[in-house]
């Protein structure tokens, strides 16, 4: 077996090859960085991809690196599992890759983005580049909006380690006396971006736009801030700490004695005290200064990541709206669905046939209309729904509250453990409970990740159930940038089994009655494995056999091993995996019949689609679940089949567009690296542009 290792993190276990999930994730974030490098991406969108890269890396250290650190404290040298290296090895490789990506990030920003902005007369200036009039404007803004929000910490004589807030940026200040009559003094100042913002746009001059960061405004005013110490020389460098963000439940508190809502609230408060996992610093900071801060902050077993002058690039998502129209993606207008637009109620259309929508190409507002009509429909009695990530301003929840006001029974499964959305979900939990909804929660350690809504309606003396199923969250904000499928239906093959699922979620009544739906952790993984086995069996019987699967991440070891077995039987397998992919394609005798591609573009590819040939009678499932162990075994998930022949055709043809993409698709190779798909036919194919055109021509 011959293949090249560019990293030790591809491991052979009992004849099966696996790429470490952490390294695969870093490769995914590298693909995000490529969109910032790509000159065909509109300029201001390139800046946003830098922000996405930075935000992703924050979460990686807050969650994944934090987990490895915990294992490291138990046994640093022992492999985490048979298919993973030891914590020391993984963390060393993470450090190497992250430093390399950080260097590349800085080069893109300084050598490409800033000069490109300058050509458009947009200048991100620092404190040393201001003229006298600009200094006056900045000084007035500093005194009015920043000074009273600054609370310096003097480090030199501190007896205890100061607590730095997770993901905030700080100016590390060194004060010296040019006459050397007194020892240097050192301080930390938190940059108050949450209250003052990150950017200040200076008055325009000669059609030039000037923007300065808040930390540079503070740099300009250090003498005023520390005037009582009578120093005359100041240097300041940005630093940032990242902490373990995993919610930790007190094991002494049993589920019977402490409600999960209380546990989550308590854990959120503890999150700010999580152990440090990363310390990012300005690489120009003198070593003696860095060493002093490392001692004062007690930075042990922490990844020290050198960076540029600016950190927390996630703030660049809110960069001032400057530039021209061509510097942004074109305004996206969802394709109207005339059949829904022309009907009296959405129920009338669903009564005739299922409706398949593809967001954001088609509007998410059709769901809001569905809920709004249900809220005031005298025939509707009950609405049941699962909520995972709820928008800050949620029309979904407001529709549910309106339904309660109109006398409907509303039952909600609110997942309080949706990472980093816990506080928003707690807020909406309180709003729903105050309105009179029945709000249920998942169990600690088992998230409810399925997306379903079930509406009960009295029609001609009997109860008819209408359902909405989705691959994405009930979130009106992310629905504008996440690509997902959604299905409206009243088909009993769905609704009867959704009733069984709702009994499990809301009443904790378990019935093994799922012939059509795949439910994790009950039957989803076993059914997927059986469907792969069926393709193997069909191929050996010389029947048609193939698998096409699209997901966010592929990590589950049993699924990967089964795909390798299918490969060896000759089954053609085409995988579209946006993020982590521990399967390694293109290895003779193991995965030569498997291709893996990742698509990174304007919209985040979020839909999970699973297609099995089934000897010509294709089975197609849409799902909220990735092929990850956490989804298949540790969460409550839902995958639903598509029965309508027309909808199966639509999904298959959209997926085929993704398999043809040669602009935004990257192909994974046997060494774990990704390369852009080649334009071998002499024609360009762009998944998202082609999908938009396809739906324009095929939407009723």
* Alpha carbons 577 and 600: distance in angstroms, whole number: 10
Structure tokens at 440: 């249920």
Q: Is the CB of residue 195 less than 8 Å from the CB of residue 183? A: no
Q: Is the CB of residue 38 less than 8 Å from the CB of residue 673? A: no
The residue written with tokens 């499990």 in the block is 504
Report the interhelical angle of 645-660 vs 687-698 (nearest 10°): 150
3-state secondary structure 8-59: CCEEEECCEEEECHHHHHHHHHHHHHHHHHCCCCCHHHHHHHHHHHHHHHHH
Q: Is the CB of residue 467 less than 8 Å from the CB of residue 490? A: yes
Q: Report the 10 Å Cβ neighbour count for 606.
A: 21
Query: In degrees rounded to 5, what are phi and psi of residue 288?
Result: -65, -35
CA 406 to chain centre: 36
3-state secondary structure 544-572: CCEEEEEECCECCHHHHHHHHHHHHCCCE
* Alpha carbons 191 and 149: distance in angstroms, whole number: 9
Structure tokens at 57: 């890396």
**For this structure, is 440 an active site residue?**
no
Out of 449, 468, 606, 647, which one is annotated catalytic? 449
Q: Report the 10 Å Cβ neighbour count for 338.
A: 10
Strands 153-154 and 169-176 turn out to be: unpaired
CA 292 to chain centre: 35
* Alpha carbons 314 and 242: distance in angstroms, whole number: 13
Single out the residue of 506, 611, 504 nearest to residue 514, CA to CA: 504
Q: Is the CB of residue 22 less than 8 Å from the CB of residue 87? A: no
Structure tokens at 96: 């190497």
Residues 6+ apart with CB under 8 A from 606: 471, 472, 482, 483, 484, 552, 578
* Alpha carbons 385 and 383: distance in angstroms, whole number: 7
Active-site annotation, residues: 449
């Amino acid at each position: 077996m011959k293949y090249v290792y560019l990293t030790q993190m591809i491991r052979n276990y009992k004849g099966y090859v696996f790429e470490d999930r952490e390294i695969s994730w870093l490769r995914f974030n590298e693909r995000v960085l490529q969109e910032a490098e790509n000159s065909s991406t509109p300029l201001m969108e390139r800046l946003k991809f830098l922000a996405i890269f930075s935000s992703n890396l924050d979460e990686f250290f807050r969650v994944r690196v934090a987990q490895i650190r915990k294992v490291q404290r138990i046994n640093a040298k022992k492999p985490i599992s048979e298919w993973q290296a030891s914590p020391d090895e993984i963390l060393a490789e993470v450090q190497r890759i992250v430093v390399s990506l950080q260097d590349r990030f800085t080069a893109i920003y300084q050598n490409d983005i800033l000069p490109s902005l300058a050509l458009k007369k947009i200048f991100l200036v620092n404190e040393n580049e201001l003229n006298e009039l600009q200094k006056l404007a900045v000084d007035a803004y500093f005194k009015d909006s920043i000074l009273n929000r600054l609370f310096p910490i003097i480090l030199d004589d501190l007896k205890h380690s100061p607590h730095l807030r997770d993901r905030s940026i700080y100016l590390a200040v060194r004060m010296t006396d040019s006459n050397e009559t007194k020892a240097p003094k050192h301080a930390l100042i938190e940059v108050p971006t949450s209250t003052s913002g990150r950017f200040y746009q200076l008055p325009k001059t000669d059609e030039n736009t000037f923007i300065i960061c808040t930390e540079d405004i503070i740099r300009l005013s250090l003498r005023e801030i520390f005037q009582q110490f009578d120093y005359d020389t100041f240097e300041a460098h940005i630093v940032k700490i990242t902490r373990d963000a995993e919610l930790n439940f007190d094991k002494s508190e049993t589920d019977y004695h402490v409600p999960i809502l209380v546990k989550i609230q308590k854990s959120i408060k503890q999150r700010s005290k999580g152990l440090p996992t990363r310390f990012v610093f300005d690489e120009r900071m003198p070593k003696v200064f860095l060493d002093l801060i490392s001692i004062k902050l007690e930075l042990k077993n922490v990844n020290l990541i050198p960076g540029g002058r600016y950190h927390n690039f996630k703030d660049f998502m809110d960069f001032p709206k400057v530039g021209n129209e061509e510097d942004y993606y074109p305004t996206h207008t969802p394709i109207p669905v005339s059949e829904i637009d022309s009907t009296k109620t959405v129920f009338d259309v669903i009564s005739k046939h299922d409706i398949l929508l593809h967001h954001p190409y088609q509007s998410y507002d059709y769901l809001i209309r569905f809920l709004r009509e249900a809220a005031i429909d005298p025939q509707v009695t009950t609405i049941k729904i699962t909520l995972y990530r709820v928008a800050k301003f949620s029309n979904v929840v407001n529709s549910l509250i309106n339904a309660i006001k109109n006398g409907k029974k509303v039952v909600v499964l609110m997942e309080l453990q949706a990472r980093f959305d816990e506080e928003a979900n707690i807020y909406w939990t309180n709003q729903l409970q105050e309105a009179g909804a029945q709000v249920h929660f998942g169990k600690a350690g088992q998230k409810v990740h399925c997306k379903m809504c079930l509406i009960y309606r009295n029609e001609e003396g009997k109860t008819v159930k209408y359902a909405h199923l989705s691959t994405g969250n009930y979130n009106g904000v992310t629905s504008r940038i996440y690509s997902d499928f959604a299905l409206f239906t009243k088909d009993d093959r769905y609704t009867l089994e959704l009733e069984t699922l709702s009994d499990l979620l809301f009443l904790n009544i378990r019935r093994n009655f799922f012939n059509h739906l795949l439910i994790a952790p009950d039957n989803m993984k076993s059914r997927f494995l059986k469907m792969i086995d069926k393709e193997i069996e069909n191929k050996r019987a010389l029947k048609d056999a193939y698998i096409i699967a699209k997901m966010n991440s592929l990590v589950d070891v049993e699924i990967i091993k089964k795909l390798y077995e299918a490969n060896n039987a000759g089954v053609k397998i085409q995988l579209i995996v946006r993020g982590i992919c521990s399967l390694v394609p293109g290895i003779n005798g193991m995965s030569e019949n498997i291709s893996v591609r990742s698509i990174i573009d304007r919209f985040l590819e979020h839909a999970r689609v699973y297609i099995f040939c089934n000897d010509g009678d294709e089975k197609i499932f849409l799902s909220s679940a990735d092929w990850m162990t956490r989804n298949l075994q540790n969460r409550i998930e839902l995958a639903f089949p598509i029965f309508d022949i027309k909808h199966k055709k639509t999904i298959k043809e959209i997926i085929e567009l993704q398999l043809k993409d040669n602009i935004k698709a990257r192909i994974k190779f046997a060494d774990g690296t990704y390369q852009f798909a080649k334009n071998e036919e002499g024609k360009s194919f762009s998944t998202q542009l082609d999908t938009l055109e396809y739906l324009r021509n095929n939407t009723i």
